[in-house]
Each structure stands twice: as structure tokens, then as C-alpha cells.
Amino acid sequence: MENFKIRFFLEKKSIFTALLWFTIFLNCILRAYASFGFGFSRKGYKFSYKLFDKAIMFASNKYKIPAPFLIAVIRAESNFNIDAVSPKGAVGLMQVMPETAKTMNLNAFNPLINIIAGAKYLRYCLTMFGYNPVPALACYNAGPGSVRTIYIKNRPKFIIPPYRQTEIYIMRVYKYYDYYRKLLKH
């Protein structure tokens, strides 16, 4: 315990780091709370955090996306808030657009289905760009029409849209992915 406190204060270099640690601490408390079988209900659905873990693992296995990468996308998109709604209208943990979910015949407002819908769309973006994660994340964030592919000497080169938000998003996902990969030892 003492080592944790020392490490926390030594690594506290900015407000962002402190907020990150607070979020992790809060998430640990919620997971401990959920491990005793407690959950929450929303619009007639009864959830527990164990269900979210199972949904993430199911989507990870089904769509062949590493679990830490999927968790990093959820963290970057909604910070684990099931009621998150973006200014553009994307909803849920994976911030799926309702129109995208409708084309996949999925309900984006159910948090468990939202994880699966987001993973399915992320897999679509990955296959579209040859399993290269940077253009796939840009596709997921800014839309498939915004990432262009040009061919230089029979090799595809991807042009990421020059949106500052997309650049920040990709960097955040990679930072979270590195953290969760170490945490989950993947």
C-alpha cells in the first residue's frame, strides 16, 4: 500500500495524470461493487459489470480484436459511460451512430449490444484498411469516407484526415491500449 502511494505521488506530473488515476480507482471500486453481484438497471435492462466483461470478451473473440484494444477504444470513446451521447448523436460505450447500428440490425441503446456493434464496426474498419490500426481508428472516429487510400509502387498508403480531434483520438487509444495491454498482460 505504501509503495502505491509513493508511486502515485511520484508519477503525478499533471492534472490529467491525477484524473486518470482517479478514474482507475473509481473503476476498481465499481468492479469490486459489481463482484458482489450488485449491478444497475436501465430502461428495463438489468446489468452487472461482469456482463460487460463477458460482452467485451465475446466481441473480442468473435471479431478477432485484442481485448485491450477494444477496452482502449471504449475508454477513448465514452470513458465507460453507458449513457454517453456525442454532439453528433453517437450513443453508448462504443459511441455507435444509430444509423450504423440500424444497418447492422442491432440496438445501439442497449449497452451490451453497443459493445458488440462497435466491435463489429471496428472489425469492418480494420478489414477495410488491411488490419492497419491507425487508419482503422481514423475510420472509426471520422468515418470511412474520410480516410483515403493511395497506392505508391503497389503498396497502399493511407491518408488520415487532417482533423485535430481524430489525431488526438488515435493517440489516446494507443495510450490506453498500452496501459490495458500491460494491465491484462496481453
Residues facing residue 37 across a β-bridge: none
CATH of domain 49-184: 1.10.530.10
Residues facing residue 48 across a β-bridge: 39
- Backbone phi and psi for residue 150, each to the nearest 5 degrees, phi listed first: -120, 155
Q: Where are the domains of the chain?
A: 1-36, 49-184
The 10s digit of each residue's pLDDT in 44-56 is 555 666 788 889 9
Percent of residues, the chain, with pLDDT higher than 70? 69
- pLDDT of 27 reads 63
**Given 2, 11, 77, 99, the catalytic residue:** 77
Average pLDDT over residues 80-91: 90
- pLDDT of 3 reads 47
pTM confidence score: 0.72
The 10s digit of each residue's pLDDT in 106-141 is 888 888 889 999 999 999 999 998 899 999 999 999
C-alpha cell at 127: 478489414
77 is a catalytic site residue? yes
The 10s digit of each residue's pLDDT in 157-169 is 777 788 899 999 9
- pLDDT of 42 reads 52
